[in-house]
Amino acid sequence: MNNNSQAYSATAEVASVRLRRSRWDRARVTLGKAPRSAWFGMIVFAIYLFIALFAPWLAPFDETQVFVTPFASWDATHWFGTDQIGRDVLSRLIYGARNTMGIALATTLLSFAIGGSLGIMAAINRRLLDQILSRSVDVLMAIPSLIFSLMLLSIFGSSIPNLIIIIAVLDSTRVFRLTRAVAINVVVMDYVEAARLRGDGLWWIMRHEILPNITPPLIAEFGLRFCFVFLTIAALSFLGLGIQPPTADWGSMVRENANLIQFAQFDIKAGLTPLLPAGAIALLTIAVNFIVDWFLHQTSGLRDDH
């Protein structure tokens, strides 16, 4: 080329260069831009976590301690009254945070351990393993999971370990599907092909090429699955088939105190008592949903067009 005054240089090509910041700085900037709903979610979640962790110190009474008057009304000793056999409702609410959240968390973790690892394996080995796993998951998902867990609980009986295993296994089908779908999108990328052509082993590829790229959607899904598991356990407990008394748990507390609602006309506080645990469940799921929504916006880079 003659008389090209515009000297070309590769380094000068315009790219979208971000300021390089440390991880902590970046987190702070991102948090600073978080919408109000996300802040609300994070604060609520932090409070719940605090209550769950320090339940024995925060609760005025033990979760199983029985007082003389059942269905006592709200007063200075029993802020939210007592339940049908005279246990302090506030204390049970506080312990309930620990029990219900703890069990839901354990279940979700187990479900991800099962579904996640199988999902990645199926995505890499698209032949027999994928076929078998995918078909089995299709069949398992053809039965509504609440119905399936009811059936399994009727056979194995409802104890906390049974509850965790049954729900985790049923829920892992959904985790499997998502992980597999997300991982397949990554597996077909040229950089995975490049790694395989280089001769890198399966384990290295999984660890370095696939996992870092599927983590964000999986974290978001973890939040959603946690909500779903949490609601399922609450529903089962409410039906009397989940966490069994005397362990305090929000779902069963609703059921136990449900009759109080009829007295709302005479004592609005009594009418509200069964709604407290139900509200506690709802608030937590709303909070987690808000956080997940914001997180998805942050990581996917996908936006609704405006």
Partner 1 sequence: MTTNSTSDTRQKNDLLLEMRDVRIEGFSSGRWHPIIKGIDLTLKSGEVLGLIGESGAGKSTLGLAAMGFARPGCKIVGGSIVFDGQDLAQLPESAKRHLWGTRITYVAQSAAAAFNPAHRLIEQTIEATVRAQISTSTEARKDAVALYRSLQLPEADTIGNRYPHQVSGGQLQRIMTAMAMAPRPDLIIFDEPTTALDVTTQVEVLAAMREIVASCDTAAIYITHDLAVVAQMANRIKVLRYGEEVEEADTPIMLSAPKQDYTKSLWSVRALQKPERDSMDVLLEIDHVDAAYGETPVLFDVSIVVPRGKTVAVVGESGAGKSTTARVITGWLPQSRGEVRFKGVSLPNALKSRSVQQLRQIQMIYQMADTAMNPRQTVEEIIGRPLEFYLGLKGAARERRVIELLHMIELNENFADRLPSELSGGQKQRVCIARALAAEPELIICDEVTSSLDQIVQEGILRLLMCLQEEFGITYLFITHDIATVRAIADEIVVMFQGRVIEQGTKSAVLNPPYPEYTQRLLSSVPEMDPSWLDRLLAERSRDAA
Partner 2 sequence: MLKRGNVHPVLATVLKRLGLGLFTWLMVSVIIFASITMLPGDFTEAVLGQAATKETIVAFRKELGLDQPAIVRYGEWLLGVAQGDFGTSFSGRAASGQDRSRLVMDLVAPRLQNTLFLAGITAIIAVPLALFLGLTTALYRNSLYDRIVNAVALTTISMPEFFLAYILILLLASLWPILPSLANVNTEMALPERLIRIALPAMSLTLVIIAHMMRMTRAAVINLLALPYVEMARLKGATRTAVIMKHVLPNAWAPIATVIAFNLAYLVVGVVVVEVVFVYPGIGQLMVDAVTSRDIPVVQACALIFAVTYILLNLIADIIGIITNPRLLHPR
Residues engaged in binding partner 2 (CB under 8 A): 138-140, 142-148, 150-155, 227, 231, 234-235, 238-241, 251, 254, 258, 261-265, 268, 271-272, 274-275, 278-279, 281-282, 285-286, 289, 293, 304-306
Phi, psi of 87 (to 5 degrees): -95, 150
6 binds, among partner 2, partner 1, none (CB under 5 to 8 A by kind): partner 1
Shortest distance (Å) from residue 45 CB to partner 1? 25
Q: For residue 195, give both structure tokens.
A: 């790694």
Q: Bridge partners of 66?
A: 87
Which two tokens mark 263? 């007295």
Give least dist CB 129 to partner 1, A.
17
Give the CB-side neighbour count of residue 65, counting CA atoms within 13 A: 12
- Binning the chain into helix, strand and coil, the percentages to the nearest 5 are 70, 0, 30
Nearest to 55, CA basis, from 291, 248, 305: 248
- Footprint of partner 1 on this chain (CB under 8 A)? 1, 4-6, 8-11, 13-18, 20, 189-191, 193-200, 208-209, 212-213, 305-306
Of the two residues 101 and 205, which places its CB atom closer to partner 2 in the complex? 101
CB 175 → partner 1: shortest distance, Å?
22
CB of 113 vs partner 1, minimal distance in Å:
23
C-beta closer to partner 2: residue 61 or 176: 176
Q: Which is nearer to partner 1, 12 or 142 (CB)?
A: 12
Contact criterion met (CB below 8 Å) for 72 and 41: no
Nearest CA among 182, 185, 180, 168 for reference residue 226: 168
User: Quick one: what does residue 201 bind among partner 2, partner 1, none, with the CB cut-off 5 to 8 Å set by partner type?
Assistant: none
In the complex with partner 1, which residue's Cβ is closer, 142 or 197?
197
Is-contact 51 284, C-beta < 8 A?
Answer: no
* Min dist. Cβ of residue 121 to partner 1 (A): 18
70 binds, among partner 2, partner 1, none (CB under 5 to 8 A by kind): none
**Minimal distance in Å, beta carbon 187 to partner 1?**
12
Find the angle CA(119)-CA(172)-CA(166) to the nearest 5 degrees.
Answer: 150
Nearest approach, Cβ of residue 198 and partner 1 (Å): 6
Residue 43: CB atoms within 10 A of its CB come to 11
Q: Which does 212 bind (CB under 5 to 8 A by kind): partner 1, partner 2, none?
A: partner 1
d(CA 118, CA 202): 14
CA 26 to chain centre: 25
Residue 278 interacting entry, from partner 2, partner 1, none, C-beta within 5 to 8 Å by type: partner 2
Q: Which is nearer to partner 1, 1 or 155 (CB)?
A: 1
Quick one: 67 or 74, whose CB is closer to partner 2?
A: 74
Q: What's the closest the beta carbon of residue 150 comes to partner 2, in angstroms?
A: 5
Taken in order 163, 147, 137, 300, the sign of the CA dihedral is: negative
What does 267 interact with, of partner 1, partner 2, none (CB < 5 to 8 A by kind)?
Answer: none
> By three-state DSSP, how is residue 87 classified?
strand
Mapped onto helix, strand or coil, the DSSP state of residue 34 is coil
